[in-house]
Homo-oligomer: A and B are copies of this chain.
Amino acid sequence: MSGFWYGGDYNPEQWPEEVWREDVRLMNRAGVNLASVGIFSWARIEPRDGEFDFAWLDEVLDLLHAGGVRVDLATATASPPPWLALKHPEMLPVTVDGVTLSSGSRQAYCPSSPVYRRYAARLVERIVERYAGHPALALWHVNNEYGCHVSHCYCDESAAAFRAWLEAKYGTIEALNDAWGTAFWSQHYAGFDEILPPRAAPTFKNPTQVLDFDRFSSDELLACFQAEAAIIRARSQVPITTNFMGFFKPVDYWRWAQEVDIVSDDSYPDPADPLAPAYGAMQRDLMRSLGGGAPWLLMEQSPGAVNWRERNAAKLPGQMRAWSYQSVARGADGILFFQWRQAVAGAEKFHAGMLPHGGTDTRVFREAEQLGSELATLSSVDGLLGQPVPAEVAIVFDWDSWWAIEQKASPTAVSYLADVLGWHSALTAAGVTVDFVQATGELSRYRAVVVPSLFVASDAQLEALDAYAAGGGSLVVGYLTGILDPDLHVRTGGYLGALRETLGLWVEEFAPPAAPDLAALGGGEPPAVGVRGERIGGRASASLWSEYVRVESAEVEAVFDGGALDGHPAVTRHARGSGRAWYVATRLDPEPLGVMLDAILADAGVERLPRVPGVEFVRRGAFLVAINHGREAVTLDLPGTDILTGGSAAGLRLDPQGVALVADA
């Protein structure tokens, strides 16, 4: 790749042929060099069972090629045509309540359906056969947004596949009975044939069954991907991707990332949400981390408003550009949109396009042109494209824990992602760039590793965390960590399991504070649990969680403040080998969390980026990128030169949505 990719989804089948030529012309004008084609073209390519029509697609690819636009060619399997469902209704997905979902929207297939897989494979074979050698081809785009609308299917085909998956995992039914704890509630299975997906039931389902079904469902989608990728790889050397969706709960992207040649991502923060920049930063750090630090592609973002929220806010002037540079700063080598030309019919006609309903005389198109031009210029600048993003701190992210901690019948209703976002945004605000890692990943590369609620942890994971601290790292462990093993069995003998040694304490009892409505009835105390401590400072609200900690050898840095837990440890620090291990027995609000992080980061010797309220700083390659997400202009005082303006970065004024790429002086 000799420059930044720039472009978007392109759906020529929605337009008459004369528009195609105008599209290529305007793509050139906007600097587009990559178009994702064919994503929802199955019904156009194969309008009837076994009848294939490629002539139109030949022409589209030839036109794009002639115009110098490369193609990210889809396998077109994301949305089967209606005729397939009519012929094989058993391939339709079924909800947990037994409702069959019909054709007429998109993605109406059961991922485990042999029929779907057979027809999809045939289609992919035909497409690869025809286009593997096309000169426009730059990337294969397998399916689309796997699991977006149907991630879990409860049909009989899925049940059969689940049983096979379980048999492969457990070998014997007694191994499954032990893992699932079926002695509870008389759930013992005499054979695999008795097992069903966790369909609607009278009350709480078996938690391990539910978790295994989450794992199975992620695996089934991955198997769909693998089957298509294998067909492609047999005939083509062109790299393969499938577009991820950031922190998408149903799919464990750690497993998927190993299977794609390049990580790509779809990202749609709400412009009306003040947390959008923080969430965006976190999502881009995940994408970089999934690829092991390698450059990734922003495969989809919106040039303006989307269409699927209750209220679909427009992007502010400059906001699309600012958020695009956020991706570049955090490791992206391509910026693409959904979609090139805004649709006029169908469910997404109110989703913005680079080329809006209003045509080229629009702010949206002008901004698309501007960004295209800038990226073209930046492609030839040394030290940006393809460069890594250094990070000294990592957050452990774990899909098993996400799935498990948000199950019902847990100690309290927790949003895993809100918790992780709390840590990530506090670190970002503290001037720290963050990688995401697996607990068993290369932790030793980092000065500090934060472990938010690793609710489910294998022995290997706990040992890796301990080894990291003992080896000199700064380990920061959040509440509800190490509670369960991978079968969701409680690690008994005081919570925290093996981390008891690492942290110098154990947890005796969970004690979440009353929910706000009940707390209010109780006269205000404790409306929430507070925390007080010298290094943490003052009284800090901690509304979601508290627990009884039994300190053995840790130092207490802060205690709970008020209520039944008054004076009990809330934050502790423990020397472990040549490192240290912190424990945080609550969820802190942003301000006290920042104060605590200052102590932890200083302790760990983590280097900090500049800190200006509202401004995001990231270092990539030779550049320090600054993005003003605030509502006010700021003046930066940095050494070096902003390559976007060519001016000095000392005294540089950054308007709202303004961006600077500062090369060190």
Query: A interface vs B, CB < 8 Å?
Result: 11, 13-14, 40-44, 47-48, 76, 78-83, 86, 93, 95, 97-108, 148-150, 180-190, 193-196, 198-209, 270, 272-275, 304-305, 307-308, 310-314, 316-317, 342-350, 356-359, 362-364, 408-413, 487-490, 492-495, 506-515, 518-519, 521-523, 525, 548, 564, 631
Check B202 against A106 for contact (C-beta < 8 Å): yes
State in angstroms the CA–CA spacing of A440 and B14 once bound together. Answer: 31
Check A99 against B97 for contact (C-beta < 8 Å): yes
Check A345 against B208 for contact (C-beta < 8 Å): yes
Copies of this chain per assembly: 3
User: A305-B509, A307-B409, A358-B495 known; 8 other A-B pairs, CB under 8 Å?
Assistant: A47-B190, A103-B194, A103-B201, A105-B203, A270-B518, A312-B412, A345-B487, A345-B490
From residue A208, how far is it (CB to closest CB) to chain B in Å? 7
Check B103 against A100 for contact (C-beta < 8 Å): no
Check A358 against B493 for contact (C-beta < 8 Å): yes
From residue A275, how far is it (CB to closest CB) to chain B in Å? 7
State in angstroms the CA–CA spacing of A42 and B187 once bound together. Answer: 9
User: Which B-chain residue is minimally distant from A198 (CB atoms)?
Assistant: B104
User: Which B-chain residue is minimally distant from A484 (CB atoms)?
Assistant: B349
Chain B residues closer than 8 Å to A548, beta-carbon distance: 314, 363
User: Which B-chain residue is minimally distant from A565 (CB atoms)?
Assistant: B314
State in angstroms the CA–CA spacing of A305 and B349 once bound together. Answer: 45
Find the residue from A203, A206, A274, A631 having the highest chain B CB count within 10 A.
Answer: A203
9 example contacts (A-B, Cβ-Cβ < 8 A) are as follows: A40-B186, A82-B187, A83-B194, A100-B200, A148-B203, A204-B308, A273-B521, A311-B515, A345-B488
Chain B residues closer than 8 Å to A93, beta-carbon distance: 202
User: Which B-chain residue is minimally distant from A352 (CB atoms)?
Assistant: B509
Check A409 against B348 for contact (C-beta < 8 Å): yes
State in angstroms the CA–CA spacing of A513 and B514 once bound together. Answer: 32
Check B522 against A272 for contact (C-beta < 8 Å): yes
Check A185 against B40 for contact (C-beta < 8 Å): yes
Check A196 against B103 for contact (C-beta < 8 Å): yes
From residue A399, how far is it (CB to closest CB) to chain B in Å? 21
From residue A179, how far is it (CB to closest CB) to chain B in Å? 8
Q: A104-B198, A193-B86 are in contact. Are A490 and B344 (CB under 8 A)?
A: yes
Check B205 against A104 for contact (C-beta < 8 Å): yes
Check A357 against B44 for contact (C-beta < 8 Å): no
From residue A330, how far is it (CB to closest CB) to chain B in Å? 23
From residue A123, how far is it (CB to closest CB) to chain B in Å? 11
Check B200 against A102 for contact (C-beta < 8 Å): yes
Point out the residue from B100, B184, B356, B506 that lies within 8 Å of A348, measured CB to CB.
B184
Counting from the closest, the 6 A-B pairs by CB-CB distance are A181-B345, A184-B346, A272-B514, A149-B202, A43-B188, A204-B347
From residue A629, how far is it (CB to closest CB) to chain B in Å? 11
Check B206 against A105 for contact (C-beta < 8 Å): yes
Chain B residues closer than 8 Å to A48, beta-carbon distance: 190
Q: A81-B186, A316-B564 are in contact. Are A412 and B343 (CB under 8 A)?
A: no
From residue A281, how far is it (CB to closest CB) to chain B in Å? 17
User: Which B-chain residue is minimally distant from A97 (CB atoms)?
Assistant: B99
State in angstroms the CA–CA spacing of A311 and B346 once bound together. Answer: 41
Chain B residues closer than 8 Å to A508, beta-carbon distance: 356, 358, 362-363
State in angstroms the CA–CA spacing of A357 and B208 once bound together. Answer: 19
Check B201 against A108 for contact (C-beta < 8 Å): yes
Check A188 against B82 for contact (C-beta < 8 Å): yes
User: Which B-chain residue is minimally distant from A564 (CB atoms)?
Assistant: B316
Q: A272-B515, A314-B509, A510-B305 are in contact. Are A98 and B100 (CB under 8 A)?
A: yes
